[in-house]
Amino acid sequence: MQTLSLSYHGHTLIITVNRPDKLNALNKTVIAELGGVLDDVYNNPEIKSAIITGSGNKAFVAGADITEFAGLNAHGGKALAEKGQQQVFDKIENCSKPVVAAVNGFALGGGCELAMACHFRIAADNAKFGQPEVNLGLIPGYGGTQRLPQLIGKGRALELLMTGAMIDAATALQYGLVNYVVPADGLMSKALSLTEVINTKAPLAIAGCVKAVHAGFTKNVNGYETEMNIFGELFDTADAKEGASAFLEKRQPAFKGL
């Protein structure tokens, strides 16, 4: 791959956006390659979780590659946003396996949107977040106007969107945009410590958590009903039976995703 580097830590795939000379900015190649890797995350049973981060210590992803905006009209702009959403951002959000953002510096514009599409975020203490698209006469195109208010509330989201301001890691933690702030040299170990715990849980139950939580944020979908249906369905799985047996027998369960 031209723009990504991949490594494995047990059953966790670490995906690193590797364009440090461009502060890991998203271009068409990054989007296409991320989409392909995410397909593997979906389909490879050996991958139980994924972490997305950026190369170097300056940036997670410092935004979209603005050079690709030249010459776009309304149709082209919409197509660019739609393709990114379908190939990457929605795919991350709806993944049945946990995808964690390890934010190691600037997460601006499309980078902030990439982090927000992940199931949760861990930030290095030097991380910065923002949606500066208004400075270009634009708005976010990869879900920023939708995911940011879900995470930090409507008022704070509108302020950040309309001012284009950046916030630091401590403020992001206060707002609820990130789960943890850690020293930069401990970022990956913190992310891996969380995925390693999740990797021991029942995969179908993890997938059910994702689906049920998303249902609560989806119009015309009853989240409680979705939860009840998934709760009931899981009783027919081998993992649920294994979980109950392991609890009663005072041992660690051996889940198989069945």
Q: What is the DSSP string of 215-231?
A: HTTSTT--HHHHHHHHH
For position 70, what pLDDT does the model report? 80
Same domain assignment for residues 195 and 211: no
Same domain assignment for residues 15 and 84: yes
Say whether 73 sits in a helix, a strand or coil: coil
C-alpha count within 13 angstroms, C-beta hemisphere, residue 22: 15
Same domain assignment for residues 192 and 240: no
For position 73, what pLDDT does the model report? 92
Same domain assignment for residues 140 and 17: yes
Same domain assignment for residues 181 and 235: no
Give a yes or no: residue 258 inside a domain: no
Same domain assignment for residues 108 and 159: yes
Give a yes or no: residue 132 inside a domain: yes
For position 153, what pLDDT does the model report? 97
For position 64, what pLDDT does the model report? 85
For position 257, what pLDDT does the model report? 85
Low-confidence ranges of the chain (pLDDT < 50): none
**Whole domain around residue 240: which residue ranges?**
203-248
Entry pTM:
0.95
For position 55, what pLDDT does the model report? 96
Same domain assignment for residues 207 and 161: no
Same domain assignment for residues 194 and 219: no
For position 54, what pLDDT does the model report? 97
Exactly one of 68, 82, 113, 227 is catalytic; which is it?
113
Same domain assignment for residues 17 and 129: yes
Exactly one of 133, 159, 196, 242 is catalytic; which is it?
133
Give a yes or no: residue 129 inside a domain: yes
Q: Is the dihedral of CA 2, 81, 93, 53 positive or negative?
A: positive
Same domain assignment for residues 166 and 230: no
Same domain assignment for residues 188 and 235: no
Domain count, the chain: 2
Give a yes or no: residue 253 inside a domain: no
Active site (annotated) includes residue 133: yes
